[in-house]
A and B are shown apart, each in its own frame.
Chain A
Amino acid sequence: DVKVTQSSRYLVKRTGEKVFLECVQDMDHENMFWYRQDPGLGLRLIYFSYDVKMKEKGDIPEGYSVSREKKERFSLILESASTNQTSMYLCASSPAGADIQYFGAGTRLSVL
């Protein structure tokens, strides 16, 4: 079974804090993704990565950055958290060329 693990289920942070969301997959997948899920908007792609040290912007990259130093780990960074970044964050991974992505359980982030 594919396992995508997000380090925190719930996080509460203050405006202006630097926030790290971590994601680890155990299936040696090349591709990793970060989405946010908001009511009425579905899942929107923030960043993705096809290989170590590679990253591509998704649809809503503003206010976020990512890091992929190891194949199994993909980190999402909020440089200076703002209240409009309160959301559910979902990490996913997939093998190269695959159509199906496998998701973690999500991190619900609240920025106060």
Chain B
Amino acid sequence: DQQVKQNSPSLSVQEGRISILNCDYTNSMFDYFLWYKKYPAEGPTFLISISSIKDKNEDGRFTVFLNKSAKHLSLHIVPSQPGDSAVYFCAAWEGAQKLVFGQGTRLTINP
């Protein structure tokens, strides 16, 4: 039972445009969400996070939006750059013990 779902396995965006990666969750007890970025042959690295008491968090080109009523969050990257090509994982904290990950979305930025 996938509690965190990334329904788009892949996304292709032109350089300079906006990339929007989506994530849905089913557990209303999740209260903290993170996005990780993973390059091939490397481990995932933390990108940005958001608490459930907020609806937006911004860090440079990266913004995460949280819609609690829809149980949906999204990551916006503006403008997209070739170095943003990677797999992006959405994750949510289940209580204090466990981080639950989505399936990942492969983002490709085209020149």
Contact = CB atoms under 8 A, between A and B. Distances in A.
Given A99-B34, A99-B93, A100-B49, A45 B43 contact: no
A45 B99 contact: yes
Interface size class of A (residues with CB under 8 A): 20 to 34
B98 A58 contact: yes
A103 B34 CA distance: 14
B34 A104 contact: no
Interface residues of B, number: 25
A12 interface: no
A40 B42 CA distance: 18
A68 interface: no
Nearest to B36: A103
B33 to A, nearest CB: 10
Interface of A: 4, 9, 33, 35, 40-45, 48, 56, 58-59, 90, 92, 97, 99-106
